[in-house]
Amino acid sequence: MRYVPAVTRPIRIGLLGCGVVGQGILRLITSRDRSLERRLGAPLEVRGIVARDVARARDLCGLDPSLVSSDAGRVLDDPDVDVVVEVMGGLDPADAYVKRAIDAGKSVVTANKFLLAERGHELFERAERRGVDLAFEAAVCGGVPVIRVLREALVSDDVVALRGIVNGTSNYILSRMTEDQLDFEVALRGAQEAGFAEADPTLDVSGGDAAHKLTILATLAFGAKILPRQVATEGIERIAAVDVRMAARFGHVIKLLAIGRSLPGGALDLRVHPAFVPAHSVLASIGGALNAVSIVGDSLGPCMLSGLGAGAMPTAMSVVSDIVDVGRNLLMDARGRVPQRAVREGLLVARDVRDAGQHVGPYYLRFSVLDRPGILARIAGILGAFDVSIRQMVQEGRARHTTDAVQVVLFTDPCRDADVRSALREIHLLGGIVEPARAIRIEEG
């Protein structure tokens, strides 16, 4: 009764992309060939590598240089390629290539979060219809196996909520601001010098990257059709050193959170924004370039995963584990074994997404005001008129001149987001307000 593989030939891989992750994949496949063969039950064989810079890839791949080409057809049209591994990134031409691979009946492993966030539903359905595997552990938080946990470990549960620190760059910058009392701009430059932020950090610090990841996580967690533009997104660019200092003074730290919740009534709450979290919470302890995702399951209760969110080797490791996974399905003739969650019966369901203005929770508010008599009373009055009640008020510093601004910080009771925004707009019209107020949500740990 010992198992006999349905396919006794090697699992043959075509690699699209030969950047740092692609090279990491090749390194793992070649250096761990024997243990991978033992665990998979068949050897892995690289049939072709598609790279933009062919000469460079030939130098770096560590394999027969003739495997490298700039022609994706060499991989996509090769009937002997079983698994297409896409680590090019970006929407085009990755989208077309992945679709061609699926249509050709090949299993696909991708690390492309942009592609999945924007085109995931189409790709899931296409793979499901064609009966092939589409695996993407590395697409979200490279070294955190959250996709597998959502798709498989929680298959018998309903996810109620998830909350994550999913952008390592932002987390690194906020950690530096907290630990070293740096301004945002200084911390950003430090992150760039340390290799934790790109030359153009916009997608990271604006929350856009986190919104992509939340889209994928929430699609799986809630079995819903979600697009990145449905995620209310706010970045960390406007967090100032004084906000971080105030957070610490009141027992909190500031983290960029990605939050998805299934609300009573069926709508989803989807948002990415900086938030105060208690200093002794588990989320607060996720420092530097780490990522973490906490999941609340109806039966499971709370569960959290953390690890390196990016980096060539953690990401490559996740890709190769996915290759082994889809390889086992090929050997067993069991492709499509794990359906794209809730897709089996047709499509992912559409779910309403609650307007961000409907969010209710406590807020941290900071005003830069000229130190004039009566201004605090007027701020408090406007907040009160919008049902924003103040729990605590602190003034930092004392102005020496009437033209100096002081920082006034308020902590509110739970209130409606739209009311806070309306109140802040009205307060901004007061004389003596030096710059737009900052509002940061306070989340529980």
**Residues between 9 and 28 that touch a second copy (CB under 8 A):** 24, 28
* Burial group, residue 223, by CB count within 10 angstroms (0-12, 13-18, 19+): middle
- Mapping DSSP to helix (H, G, I), strand (E, B) and coil, where does residue 365 land? strand
Task: For residue 47, report the phi and psi dihedrals to the nearest 5 degrees.
Answer: -95, -25
Cα distances from 16 to residues 8, 69, 70, 88, 333, in angstroms, run 25, 10, 9, 6, 24
Phi-psi region of 260 (alpha: psi -120 to 50; beta: other; left: phi over 0): beta
The nearest distance, CB 88 to a second copy, in angstroms, is: 21
Q: Binding residue for a second copy (CB under 8 A) from 1, 199, 377, 429?
A: 1
Which of 306, 365, 419, 437 touches a second copy by CB under 8 A?
Answer: 306
For residue 13, which of 63, 48, 50 has the smallest C-alpha distance?
A: 48
Sign of the C-alpha dihedral, residues 406, 412, 418, 422? negative
* Beta strands at 83-86 and 433-442: parallel, antiparallel or unpaired: unpaired
Instruction: Examine residue 418 and tell whether it contacts a second copy (CB under 8 A).
Output: no
Give the residue among 117, 116, 64 at the shortest CA–CA distance from 86.
116
- Judged by beta carbon, residue 285 or residue 422, the one nearer a second copy is 285
Contact flag: residue 317 with a second copy (CB under 8 A): yes
Question: Could you tell me how many residues of this chain bind a second copy (CB under 8 A)?
Answer: 72
Closer CB to a second copy, 167 or 306, in the complex: 306
Query: Does 179 sit near a second copy (CB under 8 A)?
Result: no
Instruction: Please choose, out of 39-47, 117-125, 168-176, 361-369, the segment that lies near a second copy by the rule CB under 8 A.
Output: 39-47
- What is the contact mask toward a second copy in residues 240 to 279, using x (rule: CB under 8 A)? ----------------------------------------
Site string for a second copy, 180-199 (x = CB under 8 A): --------------------
Side chain identity at residue 369, one-letter code: V
Give the 3-state secondary structure of residue 393.
strand
Residues 115-154 that bind a second copy (CB under 8 A): 129-131, 137, 143-145, 148-149, 152-154
311 near a second copy, judged by CB under 8 A: yes
Q: How far apart are the first and last CA of the chain?
A: 51
The number of residues in the chain equals: 445
Of 47-55, 237-245, 309-317, 374-382, the segment contacting a second copy by CB under 8 A is 309-317
> Could you give the C-alpha distances from 121 to 133, 215, 270, 278, in angstroms and in order?
14, 11, 17, 36
Find the binder of a second copy among 8, 66, 299, 402 (CB under 8 A). 299
For a second copy, the binding residue among 68, 239, 286, 375 (CB under 8 A) is 286
Does residue 420 belong to the site contacting a second copy (CB under 8 A)?
Answer: no
Does residue 163 touch a second copy according to CB under 8 A? no
User: For the window 362-401, what string marks contact with a second copy as x by the rule CB under 8 A?
Assistant: ----------------------------------------
Q: How many CB atoms lie within 10 A of CB 179?
A: 13
Of 305, 379, 388, 424, the one binding a second copy by CB under 8 A = 305
Known catalytic residues are: 213
